[in-house]
Every structure is written in C-alpha cells, then in structure tokens.
Structure 1
C-alpha cells in the first residue's frame, strides 16, 4: 500500500512540475512583493530590447492597495492611479521604493500604448522580455536578504523542526522499532503513524533545502518545494484514512464483537469505502487548491474554503461516532482511551480551520506564515499524542481482556475470603 502511495506521489510531483510550475514562472499577470520595514527598497529593471519597448511605449505601473474600487473607472483612469511608473525605454532602470513603516503589498502591472485600445487592429510585435530584481533591505539594511516579509522566519522554523525530529528519532527509535516488531492489535495503526511522521519529516527537509538555497540566490529548488507539498499531502491523506477507518470499524463491529475483546483496527467493506471516499475527496481538493494557489497566490481559493469545510465536517462526523461509542462503553479504560483518541482527532482536523479563523487578527503578510507554522506544530502534537496513546494502552487492553475472561475471581489477603 505504501509503495503505491509513494508511486502516486511521484506522479503527482511530475504533474505539478510539468503542468503547474511553468504557469507560475512564465505567466506574468500580477506580481505582489512584501517590502520589509527598513531602508528604501530598490527595483531594478533590465530590458532586453529597449528599441521595441520605446516603439510600444511600454511601461510598468506600481500600485499600492490595488482594490475593487478601480473597477468603476475607465482603463486610462485606472492606469493613471498608479503611484509609480517605470519606463522601459532604457536598457536598465533603477526605481526606489518609498520607505514603508510596516510591510506592505505592491502590485506591478505591465502596460503599453495598446493596453486601452478598444477598437482597431493591434499590430503584432515580437515578445518583450525584461528582468526584474527587487532588493528588499531588512530592518538591519541588508539588501541581500531574499526572503519576503511573509516568508521571514520559515527557514529557522524548519531548521528547529528538523532538529526536534532528529533528537526525537534518536531517543525513541529503538523502543518504537521493538514495538513494531512485536506486533499487537494496533500494529497497523502504529505503522501508518510512523509512515506519516516520516513523510512529514521528509517534507520539512525538502522545505528547508529549498529555503536554504532561496536565501542565497532568490530562486531555490522549486522541485524540492513541490516534493514537500506532495509528501505533506500523502501524509495528511494517510492519517485521514486511518482515522476514518478506525472510527467506522469500531462503530460497525460493536454489535458483533464481545466487549472483552481487545481494541484493534476493524477493517470491513463499509468502513473501507467511507475512508477511501474521504481520502479521494480530500486528495482532489488538495490538488485543486495547489493548482489555484499557483495561478493566483494572493487570493483565497474556493478549493481552500471547501477543504476547511470538509475538515470541519469530518470533525463533526468523528465527534458523533465517538460520542455514540463513549456513551455506551462500560469499560472505564476503553472510555478513557476513546476520550484521548477524540482529542487527537479534533486537534488534527480542526487546527487548520481554527488557525485560519484566528489569522484574521494578524497583518496580511503574517497570515499564511502563522497558519503554516501552527498547522505543522498542531499535527505533530496530534500524531505524538496518538503514538503515546496506542503504545501505552495496547498491553493494558490485552491484560484487561484476559482478566475479564479467564480470571473472574480475586482473593483478599486480609480476610481470606473470595471476592467477586
């Protein structure tokens, strides 16, 4: 199963590289740059064919806080609202960006003499190519810092995350490998959690390598960034399949299995069908969200909103299932297990919607960073909680089941009388 998942993620990576990444690199519609507070920013424009640009009267228009209020204006009036204009008639042009007290968003729009032409034929010209270099000095005045305000801090975060993964792996590798070799009623769950955590670690490593290279040349490794997204998606859908299959299996098997039987991963056709349906739905929405994000990173996509709604709906579904199980469970040990399991599930599913809702109080350049860091930390805590739960309770289930079936009688050492 995991081999098929890895193969699928490889093909998804190729899909992103071949069909999605070229659009984000070569299609020039709108450029949004976050300028950190500090000294003035410098925008350097290199034009390959200044004569063609002069003939077309090509220019770049910089807008700040471009919003829907311009929709009611004519084309020429809309272009006249630009705060800065850069003529492309020179081979190289240096444009200073005014000092900003806080990070702000600028939109860069290309225009020429045919932009507002509504009638008549537009003569065909060769493509005009130019290169833009944006030097964003940080608060210390360093112009070689390639991270924008919305990305600053992610490089250090992924480094600390990898360090935490490495230390945790060194501490718990031997007991975890012994537990996996030993087997047990929840052996499959531990394997899925191990694979999901490993995929999250690989995704963090890919992001760190990409950002480390990006900090030096401003380009990074786009393939590594795409691979990180793919590994993260595979990890998410794997945990989703496990949680849905577990809850549905426990619900459907309660009427057929004895209460004294140890808890285990109950696989049946209905539970597998529900889990696969949830995985396919979330997988398609994740791919759709990445596609829309590459086309227009500045806007909240419909797929992203549907994903948030799906996670809330799945959390409500699991809450209903676990409530029915807990309300009818007679064993205190199993009831405590279900409560801890519910906490891990809710943290996994609701962290993204809750953080997205809380991010509205932050500035525009901080929202995505807060959500990204918060989701990674919450899901890591959720998986560690589930790990601890399944590892610590497996032996107790077996002992409890054995004592309730074959050892119904206990003896008191004080009064030497049988006690049932």
Structure 2
C-alpha cells in the first residue's frame, strides 16, 4: 500500500519534469536578441564519431532572405567554455566550423575523428557583437538542425550519438529475454501467487517491481525505435519509461528494507524460538518509509536536474551523487543487520537463507555505485552504456536471486515452518485460518 501511495504522489510531481524537446533533430527559432545576450544562441550538442559525420540545416524558404540579410550562421565548437574569457568577436571568429545560412538546405561534414568528440552548436549573426540597439533584427529564423553519425556501412544516417550507440539493440535483446522468461516462468509463478502461502505478499511486490522494469525496457525500446527514424523519438514515452523504473526502484527499496527492518527489530524483543516474527512495528514501518521517501525525492529531483532525462546517466549531478551515497549507506546498514543475524544463528538452513538474501540485497544496492566508479576508467562516450547496461543486468540478476529464494520450499518455506510463524510482509497464520 505504501509504495502505491508513493507512486501516485510521485506521478503528479514527475509529470512536471517532462522535457519540452528531446533528441538530436532540433527544431526551433533563431533570434538575434538571444544571440546578442549570450554571445551566441546555444542550440544543442552532439557526440560525433568516425568518418562522414554530418550536420544538416533546413530553413523555411521565406526565411532564407532574412538569414542572408542578417549574415546568419551556425558555429560549431568542441570546447565552448575555452572562449568565455575572450571578446565576442574573438569568440565567434575562433569557431573551428561555420555554416552560413544562405540556402533552404545546407550540409556540413564533420572532420574525421580518431575518437568520439563532443561538438556544440551556436547561432550568431551580424548583430551578435553590436553594442548599439538592434535595428532591423526583429525577424526570427525558423530552422531544423539534424545531426548524423555514420552507420555500419559508413553512411551518415545514424541519429544516435556515440554515447547512445548500441543501447537500441540492447533493449531489443532485453525485451526478447523478458518474453522468453515470461513464457517459461509465468504459469508456475501465477500458480504460486494463486495458492497464497508464506511467500505470497513478497512475491506480489517482487513481481510488480519486475513488471515495471520490463515495462520500462519496452517503453525505452519504443522510444528508441522512433528515435532511430527521426532523431526525436517519443519524449512522453521515454519519460514514462523512466517513471516506471523509478517506481520499481521505490518498490524494491520498500520490500528489502521492510524485510530486514522487520527481522532485526523483532530479534530485539522476541524470543529466539521465533526469530523471524514481524508485527509491522511503527519503528520498522517508519524506517522503511523514510528510506522510500528519501529515494523518491532524490529521484524526482534528479529528473529536474537532468534535462536530457537519461536513465542512470545523471550521476554527475548533486541528486545523482546523493542517490549513490544513499544506496551505499543502505547497503552498509543492511550488511550490519544481516551480519548480526547470521553470526547469532546456529541453524545452517537459516544461515543459508540469510546469505542468499544478503547477496540479492547487496547486488541491488551496490551495483549502481560500483558501476559508476568502474565507468571512470572508460572513455566518456562509453560511460553511459557501461552504467545503464550494467545496472539493468545486475538488478535483473538480483531479482532472479530473490525469486529463487522466495519460491524455494527448501529455504523460504522451511525457515518459516521452523519458526512456526510466517515471514515478514505476509499474513499471519491466524489471519489465514479465517479464509
């Protein structure tokens, strides 16, 4: 119930963070006033790679004469920050590439690069560096800028930048793997949920989190399929994919914290003959909800900070770094609690259960911080793929570990039987006897 309420609350806030534009086919309006105010109107950036990378500019036919009169041009920089201390004229004249806007369609080939390089696109005209009031510069120019990387055949037809290359194929394989797994496991899982039993509620929460993960992967694939065709994709679908992933993260956090807090708190005041009994105490509930609320707030904050809305990508922002810190703190907290429980436990069966549960917990919480640290040894264009693919695979493996644990009659069921009570997040025997 608590994760559902948190999800509903997050929807209203998250929808406010939907981007107005997304992708590398950029359509907009070029204004002399904006260019003068900022020493060049910033348009977009793109990570080009290889040979025959291309920038295509398209103007409305009625705007060509306006662009010629204004001496309008697009400037391409690799490191625009290096020109911040220069004068306006020095900055604009120092651009490595310049595209004069004097035709309906213009093409600019990017020089061949030995490694992927980021290029920034700015707009400037004859009024950009003038100190006097603008006169005759009121007319705006409508433009569409399309950026291409070379595809496998070397033709400039690929809309994906270098840091996104390969993610489209990965999501296709991920969806295929989810489909095959669903065909194999859906019926046994449905039967386990239908029968009820001591693992019933845990499996429901775990299944909901997995479905949200699969839904996020499917929505990302749909978005990227359209992006591959037009360079824009479906911004709303991409944002919905991230929202599904965000709710899945919240649900898993609530599940893991509830289980561990329940066991730990119960051991402080329950007899050793019933070490796994959990009565949903106010302390355990407040601790779990506190962790959920903190992570939910940081995830929403991260979406506002990351204007391009890439899952797992904005770890360089303040909320992203706080999220990594939160996951490390929670992993250390759970490690401390589980170590105390394992050290005090004499039953080999129960120790095996706790150890398997600990593996699933630590893999879920520590994969993101570990992969962010590991990605530092890779080039810039490889980091997003390392973190995104790695986190998805590790968290999927974590869910598989927990599924095997909670579906195993030799572990979860027997541990519950040994303690003569049900495990956390389940109905008590007294309640089950009523039905």
Shorter chain as denominator, the TM-score bin is 0.7 to 0.9
User: In 2 relative to 1, CA 265–84 (structure 1 residues): closer, same or farther, beyond 3 Å?
Assistant: farther
Q: Corresponding residue for 1:287?
A: 300
Q: TM-score, normalised by structure 2?
A: 0.84
User: In 2 relative to 1, CA 351–218 (structure 1 residues): closer, same or farther, beyond 3 Å?
Assistant: same
Which of 383, 386, 389 is the equivalent residue of 2:405? 389
1:64-83 alignment, distance < 5 Å: 64=78, 66=79, 68-83=81-96
Q: Corresponding residue for 1:56?
A: 70
CA distance in 2, matches of 1:336, 1:344: 13
Determine whether 1:400 maps to 2:418: yes
Q: Corresponding residue for 2:58?
A: 46
CA distance in 1, matches of 2:277, 2:115: 54
Structure 1 unaligned spans of 5+ = 404-420
Q: TM-score, normalised by structure 1?
A: 0.86
SS at match of 1:72: coil
1:226-305 alignment, distance < 5 Å: 226-261=239-274, 263=276, 266-294=279-307, 300-305=316-321
User: In 2 relative to 1, CA 3–273 (structure 1 residues): closer, same or farther, beyond 3 Å?
Assistant: closer
Q: Corresponding residue for 2:361?
A: 345
SS at match of 2:56: strand
CA distance in 2, matches of 1:402, 1:280: 33
The offset of 1:56, in angstroms, is: 3.2
Which of 373, 377, 391 is the equivalent residue of 1:375? 391
SS at match of 1:287: helix
1:323-362 alignment, distance < 5 Å: 323-362=339-378
Q: Corresponding residue for 1:319?
A: 335
Moved more, 47-56 or 25-34: 25-34
Cα deviation per residue 1:60-111 (whole Å; 9 max; x = unaligned)?
11112x0643333333222232100112233332222112223221111112
SS at match of 2:57: strand
User: In 2 relative to 1, CA 215–23 (structure 1 residues): closer, same or farther, beyond 3 Å?
Assistant: closer
* CA RMSD, 1 decimal: 2.6
SS at match of 2:306: helix
User: In 2 relative to 1, CA 345–86 (structure 1 residues): closer, same or farther, beyond 3 Å?
Assistant: same
Q: Corresponding residue for 1:154?
A: 167
SS at match of 1:82: coil
CA distance in 2, matches of 1:67, 1:356: 26
* Structure of greater relative contact order (alpha carbons < 8 Å, 6+ residues apart): 2
Q: Corresponding residue for 2:133?
A: 121
The offset of 1:246, in angstroms, is: 1.4
User: In 2 relative to 1, CA 379–237 (structure 1 residues): closer, same or farther, beyond 3 Å?
Assistant: same
User: In 2 relative to 1, CA 67–335 (structure 1 residues): closer, same or farther, beyond 3 Å?
Assistant: farther
The offset of 1:112, in angstroms, is: 2.5
Cα deviation per residue 1:369-401 (whole Å; 9 max; x = unaligned)?
111000000000001101111221222114434
Q: Corresponding residue for 2:322?
A: 306
Q: Corresponding residue for 2:432?
A: none
SS at match of 2:158: coil
Which of 186, 209, 223 is the equivalent residue of 1:210? 223
CA distance in 2, matches of 1:295, 1:199: 21
